[in-house]
Structure 1
Amino acid sequence: MLPWHQYLLGFIFLAAGFFHFQKPKLYKKIMPPYIPAHSTMVLVTGVMEMVFGLMLLNPETQNLAAWLLIGLLVLFLPAHVYMLQNEEASLNLPKWVLVGRIPLQFALMYWVYQYTLI
């Protein structure tokens, strides 16, 4: 049996991926303009989050899933920076929330990294 926090993290990624399909316009709005094919990227990253989240819940695939999720979180960093730089992409969130999202990404990476060690 996996620890409860691993189930929680897997669910977080499943839910995050699901929202890519529920609110694709929101995700497209926060993507930097230099990233091509916004619609496709939103859907692909949503699928990846869900698949990797499920893989994290399987002891046989959790190590690979953890590394893939870390890579995905690194790939999401430009969107967080872009949200800070562009008022329209900020979604009217307070500046402190936008700034806080960046260290949160690193905290998530650290949390995910814990499942490479099991």
Structure 2
Amino acid sequence: MRHIYRFSLAIVFSVAGFLHFKREESFEKVVPDYLPFKRFIVHASGVVEIVFGLLLFFKRPGKTLKNLINAFLLAVFPANIYMARKKLPLGTIELPKRLLYLRLPLQFVLMGMVKRI
């Protein structure tokens, strides 16, 4: 099961990171208004996700990498809350507000998966 979690997370992080560059404007909208340098935040978080994805593809993470991934997931959680509160689309997909809120626990599911790989 660990391999399934690891490779699933590798794909999720790699694709999400790539999309930060492919759909930059969509990701900028999700960065809360109170934060400056939205484009930099989108690019930096995209690079971090791509690096995490590649690392997970090639080796089983140690405790330090797991902690870094989970810290990152916590750091971007406010953007998910902001997205739900403002009813922002998920890329080009308009989701009902309740689904945007139901998406929030997914961050903790990912953190649980990280813990188990």
The alpha-carbon deviation at position 7 of structure 1 amounts to: 1.4
Do the aligned partners of residues 5 and 85 (structure 1) sit closer, same or farther apart at CA in structure 2, a change above 3 Å counting?
closer
- Name the stretch that deviates more: 26-35 or 3-12: 3-12
Q: How many pairs are equivalent?
A: 110
Structure 1 gap segments, 5+ residues each? none
Displacement over 3 Å in runs of 4+: none
**Which residue identity is paired with 1:21?**
F
The equivalences for 1:49-60 within 5 A come to 49-57=49-57, 58-59=59-60
State TM-score, norm by structure 1. 0.85
Alpha-carbon RMSD across the aligned residues, in angstroms, is: 1.5
User: Is the 2:5–2:113 contact (alpha carbons within 8 Å) kept by the matching residues of 1?
Assistant: no
TM-score w.r.t. the length of structure 2 is 0.85
Counterpart for residue 18 of structure 1: 18
Q: Percent identity?
A: 35
Which structure has more RCO (C-alpha within 8 Å, separation ≥ 6)?
2
Gaps of 5+ in 2: none
Contact 1:56 1:66 in 2 (8 A): no
